[in-house]
Amino acid sequence: MPRPSQLLHPQREPAPTRPAATVLLLRDGEQGLEVLMTRRSATASFAPGAYVFPGGVIDEADALAHAQATRRPSQSDAQLTQAIAAIRESFEELGVLLARHADGRPATAADIAALDRAAPLAAQCAARGLTLAAADVFTLAHWITDRDLPRRFDVPFLVARMPEGQTPVADEAEQFEPVWVRPADALARHAAGQFFMIFPTLRTLERLQAYPDVASVLAACTGEQPLWTSCPRAGWLAGEDARYMEHEAPFGELALVTPDGQQLHHLDWQSRQPVPLLKNVQRLTAGNAGFMTGPGTNSYLVGEPRTGYIVIDPGPADAAHIERLWRAAGDQIRYIVCTHSHADHSPGAKPLQALCSDPKPPILGLASRPTARAASQFTPDRELQNNERLTLTAPAPEGEITHTLRTVFTPGHAANHVCFVLEEDGLLFSGDHILNGSTTVVDPPDGHMGDYLDSLDRLADVCQSDGVQFILPAHGYVLGNAAQVIAQLKQHRLAREAKVLAAMLAAPGGSMDDWVAAAYDDVHPRVWPIAKRSMLAHVEHIRALGAAP
């Protein structure tokens, strides 16, 4: 974890969460799955005016009503309480009652008419011989309100089939205008500015639209575990509020820069000025955005004015970018290091060195190997050793301040590829070995798939030994949950290799074009020419293992 002293913003405790429950009442419409939604009061303290699913805070009576509810054998006590709360809220807000008579018959409109929506529900149901149908309520998702908001809830999103013969009637106090809507239609109306919804509602509907009917949703939820759990993070993009779930590209960067959830970080890509990530880490992105480079190549400055700086990957031979790096460091550069010799990473090293005052900072890395292409030639002033440490130190009021960068050899993407660990803060600078938003190309002969996979294992060990939680790639935002990212990346590579092997075995006399069409059938054909480069690395690896001729 980064040292608290290096965080950009004062630490704070996010508002505590309150337990609540939300229920998505579903039915099969003429055009597919429909969900019941209502509009919240314009004066509501949370999400005023938004279209939502019925729900609210769990109260003590919900936990005391277990004996008055049906229950699946696999339904936990907590899930039962949540289901009861959701049933109660849907009754109070919409007059919809999920309950059954002793003989299994569902509650009718006549039963509902005899009940008082303002009085305790469980006791009224017991008096009429009704049991709350909690066994018919399943867990879909688990949402925890964003850390930046003043009112926060810990909310399971539950699902249940709408009882037949009942008509929702809003309470006209908390909820208004009940409406049945297809998820895709609700999303389209929101995009047109006609159906305001908050982030968790939007993301839930986005996933729900993949299901054709109620039965398929309920079947997906029988495992009793939420299909996803999320506590979103907020930043700014194009001057507007932007929120992201854990699997989305900016999430890890927001977790690093604003761990307590303050909405302060701007996510817009630009190459004009450095972006502070910690007090001792800045990112300056070169203006070379493109299909292969994404938003551009990230150069990093590690250090601070009193210690001087290490520049990681000075980037392409772009005079404007190089000058911005030099100015951002205040001509206090102590080392220039390159993760590898590709044309968007190392050519800026010598021009940057030339701008620096004497004594000139050394250019460090690994020299390009004989397998490197002509455009990837690189000769450092000195070759780094594996596990070598580059240390910046300076006296400080709190004691000596130190920033230590350790080298980790990671051949695979390129034969001379290295990564770096900022030891005091548990950060991994991954170069092109791990990217955010795409998988790196492994291009023989300089790229080697066996080496690449071995290097992933090496980085997984580093994450465990050094407590690394964040990966700072050469392209894209910071990645969080480093160990999981590496595990998923290796799983993806092995799954792709299995498809390549299957294509080779199915068509042993086939061409590379034949194999790429089969092994990369899940990506657009325009990507196949690039995919063939990594596929060749897979083919060579498969043959080296003796798995195919």
Cβ–Cβ < 8 Å for 365, 380: yes
Instruction: Give me the phi and psi of 6, to 5 degrees please.
Output: -100, -5
Residue 185 a catalytic site member = no
Task: Give which of 111, 207, 208 is closest to 165, Cα–Cα.
Answer: 111
Cβ–Cβ < 8 Å for 110, 104: no
Q: How far is 125 from 116, CA to CA, in rounded Å?
A: 10
C-alpha dist (Å) from residue 176 to 9, 168, 179? 41, 10, 9
* CB neighbour list of residue 420: distance below 8 Å, 6 or more residues apart: 312, 337, 339, 405, 406, 407, 408, 428, 429
- Catalytic residue (choose from 136, 318, 344, 451): 344
Q: 302: helix, coil or strand? A: strand
Q: Considering Cα of 41, then 46, then 48, then 50, what sign does the dihedral take?
A: negative
* DSSP of 333-391: EEEEE-S---TTTSTTHHHHHHHSPSSPPPEEE-PPPTTS-GGG----SEEPPTT-EEE
Task: Give which of 389, 335, 341, 405 is closest to 367, Cα–Cα.
Answer: 341
Name beta bridge partners: 57.
20
Q: Is the peptide bond before 359 cis (omega within 30 degrees of 0)?
A: yes
* DSSP of 189-205: HHHTTSS---HHHHHHH
The total of other beta-carbon atoms located within 10 Å of residue 181's CB is 18
* DSSP of 99-141: EEETTSPBP-HHHHHTS-TTS-HHHHHHHTTEEE-GGG-EEEE
Q: 166: helix, coil or strand? A: coil
Q: Which residues are identified as catalytic?
A: 344
